[in-house]
Structure 1
Amino acid sequence: MIELAQDGGIWTVTLNRPDKANALTEDMLVELCEIMERAGDARAVILTGRGKIFSAGADLDAARAGLATSDLWERLSGAIAQLPGLTIAALNGTLAGGAMGMALACDMRIAVPGAKFFYPVMKLGFLPQPSDPARMAALTGPARAKLILMGGQKILSDEALSIGLIDRIVDPESLIETARALCADTVAADPEIARAIKRMCTGRA
């Protein structure tokens, strides 16, 4: 249910469970963690999904069994955030719940028109994963992060773009092509220069 394609220094990781809105099971989360933890040599990583929803978050049965509060979510977002290459979340549709963390950890987020973004963790009686609120607030500002996390608001792609939650809205037909184009300069550059620029942008120089 997780697909990995490697081409020209670009790793494309695809959630492939469209019949279940790409909801994540424990096995899927473990596989995602393992892929990201060995992606250090990738020049760029694109994270996307099959179908019209990027991910509904945790699989409901798995969430009830404890996955909603698993440390796997933080392990995954941490592994993405530590990657030296360029990371892009190519969001093929709605992004919800704990799955938000992996997109927030990416360097860029592009999304199709009409995608929705929401994180109803407080309503469900859980805390968000530890790094998610700070990453969201760094993109949107603290008040808008609270709008999503505490106000329970569903943000459409147009508003998500205007508040900085995503960086570009892209037609579905060209989503992956656009993501690959955004990777092109990084893939062609001297790896050490590309990595140094990323460190400078993230304050880790």
Structure 2
Amino acid sequence: MAEFVTLETSDDHPGVGTIALHRPPMNALNRQVQRELAAAAEEATLRDDIKAVVIYGGPKVLAAGADIKEMTDMSYAEMSKVAGRLQADLGAIAEIPKPTVAAITGYALGGGLEVALSADRRIAGDNAKLGVPEILLGVIPGGGGTQRLARLVGPAKAKDMMFTGRFVGAEEALSIGLVDEVVAPDEVYNAALAWADQFRDAATVALAAAKKAVDEGLGVDLTTGLKIEEHLFAGLFATEDRVIGMKSFVENGPGKAKFTGK
């Protein structure tokens, strides 16, 4: 049983899974936490009863970064063996083929921000502080931060954050597109659940296809991206949900289909 990361569901929000971090006081992301995070993401992927996922670190912090004490004495040879695994584990949320949202209260720094960057959406409390301060340790983000941050906010803003290591407040994060919504700290988790609730009865195969088309398309040229879209679009015509959705539209108008997720 996982010690620091759990995948939780509740009767109040059926279809929504919460990947919860709980390693007090700051949810430092040591190797065990990283492995447990990846395992929770895999479980969320495989469970048919989970339609959307919230990532939450509790009311005070999402995660204040990697466990630096664990890295202090590592050599180049040692890190070169695990760097790929570090990147994959902190980016595991991105591999969930379902809508994901990071609920950010307090600090989301270094690896903590990299976890949040792996989600499809980010909701922050107005007390949130976000950053990639690895430069202050003589290194750079190694859990996907250089790539996902630049794609999200643009290279100039990403470089400013990485070069200086400064913390970005909630309002600035909202203005540069680093987060998508800012609410009171005690409303962060509820706001994330409300967003995730939208997808409990959605066409899950189509949602996965939309996510895959965008994510894979961002890494290729437009022509290749259009081919990815073409393939995924055509594939949905083999699903029950496509039949249900189109028949319901013709007979009852939009937004009334009862999908099966198949």
Specify if TM > 0.5: yes
SS at match of 1:159: helix
Equivalence for 2:30: 25
SS at match of 1:186: coil
1:153 aligns with 2:139: no
More strand by proportion, 1 or 2? Answer: 1
Alpha-carbon distance, 1:171 to partner: 1.6
For residues 90 and 67 of structure 2, the distance between their equivalents in structure 1, rounded to whole angstroms, comes to 18
For residues 127 and 94 of structure 1, the distance between their equivalents in structure 2, rounded to whole angstroms, comes to 18
Equivalence for 2:238: none
SS at match of 1:99: helix
Alpha-carbon distance, 1:163 to partner: 0.2
- Consecutive aligned runs of 4 or more in structure 1 exceeding 4 Å deviation: none
**Counterpart of 2:155 in structure 1: which amino acid?**
P
Equivalence for 2:202: 189
Which of these two proteins has the greater Rg computed from alpha carbons?
2
Q: CA, structure 1 residues 136+48, in 2 after alignment: closer, same or farther (shift >3 Å)?
A: same
Alpha-carbon distance, 1:49 to partner: 0.9
For residues 170 and 58 of structure 1, the distance between their equivalents in structure 2, rounded to whole angstroms, comes to 26
1:3 aligns with 2:6: yes
Deviating more after overlay: 109-118 vs 71-80: 71-80
Instruction: Please tell me whether the aligned partners of residues 63 and 111 of structure 2 are also in contact (alpha carbons under 8 angstroms).
Output: no
Equivalence for 2:55: 47
- Tell me which of 19, 23, 30 is aligned to 1:13: 19
Deviating more after overlay: 121-130 vs 167-176: 121-130
**Counterpart of 2:162 in structure 1: which amino acid?**
L
Q: Which has the higher contact order (CA 8 A, sep 6+)?
A: 1
**Counterpart of 2:16 in structure 1: which amino acid?**
I
| 1:1-205 correspondence to structure 2 within 5 Å | 1-7=4-10, 8-19=14-25, 21-41=26-46, 42-66=50-74, 70-71=82-83, 72-129=85-142, 131-202=144-215, 203=217, 205=229
Instruction: Please tell me whether the aligned partners of residues 161 and 168 of structure 1 are also in contact (alpha carbons under 8 angstroms).
Output: yes
Instruction: Please tell me whether the aligned partners of residues 80 and 105 of structure 1 are also in contact (alpha carbons under 8 angstroms).
Output: yes
**Counterpart of 2:106 in structure 1: which amino acid?**
G
Alpha-carbon distance, 1:65 to partner: 4.5
**Counterpart of 1:11 in structure 2: which amino acid?**
G
SS at match of 2:136: coil
- Identity among equivalent positions (%) equals 34
SS at match of 2:122: strand
Alpha-carbon distance, 1:179 to partner: 0.8
For residues 178 and 102 of structure 1, the distance between their equivalents in structure 2, rounded to whole angstroms, comes to 18
Instruction: Please tell me whether the aligned partners of residues 45 and 96 of structure 2 are also in contact (alpha carbons under 8 angstroms).
Output: yes
**Counterpart of 2:167 in structure 1: which amino acid?**
K
**Gap regions ≥5 residues in structure 1:** none
**Gap regions ≥5 residues in structure 2:** 218-227, 230-262
SS at match of 1:3: strand
For residues 42 and 153 of structure 2, the distance between their equivalents in structure 1, rounded to whole angstroms, comes to 27
For residues 130 and 56 of structure 1, the distance between their equivalents in structure 2, rounded to whole angstroms, comes to 14
Q: CA, structure 1 residues 23+130, in 2 after alignment: closer, same or farther (shift >3 Å)?
A: closer
For residues 65 and 178 of structure 1, the distance between their equivalents in structure 2, rounded to whole angstroms, comes to 41
Alpha-carbon distance, 1:149 to partner: 0.6
How many residue pairs were aligned?
A: 204
Task: Provide the TM-score with structure 2 as the length reference.
Answer: 0.71
Instruction: Please tell me whether the aligned partners of residues 37 and 90 of structure 2 are also in contact (alpha carbons under 8 angstroms).
Output: no
Instruction: Please tell me whether the aligned partners of residues 18 and 51 of structure 1 are also in contact (alpha carbons under 8 angstroms).
Output: no
Q: CA, structure 1 residues 45+166, in 2 after alignment: closer, same or farther (shift >3 Å)?
A: same
Instruction: Please tell me whether the aligned partners of residues 125 and 187 of structure 2 are also in contact (alpha carbons under 8 angstroms).
Output: no
For residues 28 and 143 of structure 2, the distance between their equivalents in structure 1, rounded to whole angstroms, comes to 21
